[in-house]
């Protein structure tokens, strides 16, 4: 499902995009996820991509600008007994390449994700953002997201 947006195109990620996405994640100095653009790590990224690609409850989008992959977002659908069995969508791994920020590409990508969730009939959209990403928090609030819950994480070794 390609969607032209200005000079940008939002589409489903394909395997050929994985190295560019790993490089975008590796350049993120605030993420702390241990991402790397080292080619020796590519098999791990490809395995994750294939898991996402084969899941009916996940979609991985990329945004292209000037023929290059410059950003990404993943959406995951979760149906819960709470909320009368409603389905919510989580948006995660939102990244725009640092040299492409400020061009409203992130907004275009997020609006695409929001409309994708609306079309799937979700009742709620969740997203988490690292507490040090204050610029991102302003961005999400401008899009209509509200800080309503505290998030917790537990790293397992």
In a domain, 156, yes or no: no
- Write down the H helix ranges in 14-79: 18-26, 42-53
Tell me whether residue 152 is in a domain: no
pLDDT in tens, 36-47: 888 888 999 999
- Find the domain containing 35 and state its range: 3-142
Confirm whether 148 is domain-assigned: no
- The model's pLDDT over 85-97, given as tens digits with 9 standing for 90+, comes to 889 999 999 999 9
Q: Report the C-alpha gap between 78 and 89 in whole angstroms.
A: 6
Do 130 and 89 touch, CB atoms closer than 8 A?
no
Total structural domains within the chain: 1
Please check whether residue 86 lies inside any domain of the structure. Answer: yes
For residue 13, what is the domain's CATH number?
Answer: 3.40.630.30
The helix/strand/coil state of 53 is helix
Strand, coil or helix: 60: strand
Counting residues of the chain whose pLDDT is more than 70, the rounded percentage is 94
54: helix, strand or coil = coil
Q: For residue 71, is pLDDT > 80?
A: yes
Q: Is residue 147 situated within a structural domain?
A: no
**Order of all β-strands in the sheet with 58-65:** 3-5, 8-12, 58-65, 68-79, 87-96, 124-127
- Please indicate, yes or no, if residue 157 is contained in any of the structural domains: no
100 lies in some domain: yes
Tell me, what's the pLDDT at 31?
A: 64
Record the pTM: 0.88
pLDDT higher than threshold 60 for residue 118: yes
Higher pLDDT, 8 or 3: 8
Mean pLDDT of the chain: 89
């Amino acid at each position: 499902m390609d969607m032209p947006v200005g000079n940008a195109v939002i589409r489903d990620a394909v395997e050929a995009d994985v190295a560019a996405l790993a490089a975008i994640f590796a350049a993120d100095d605030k993420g702390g996820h241990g991402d790397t653009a080292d080619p020796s790590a590519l098999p791990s990224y490809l395995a994750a991509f294939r898991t996402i690609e084969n899941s009916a409850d996940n979609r991985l989008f990329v945004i292209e600008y000037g023929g290059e992959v410059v950003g990404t977002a993943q959406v995951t659908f979760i149906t819960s007994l709470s909320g009368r069995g409603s389905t919510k969508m989580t948006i995660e791994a939102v990244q725009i390449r640092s040299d492409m920020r400020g061009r409203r590409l992130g907004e275009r990508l997020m609006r695409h994700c929001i409309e994708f969730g609306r079309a799937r009939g979700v009742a709620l959209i969740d997203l988490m953002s690292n507490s040090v990403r204050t610029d991102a928090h302003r961005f999400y609030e401008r899009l209509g997201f509200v800080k309503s819950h505290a998030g917790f994480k537990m790293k397992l070794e």
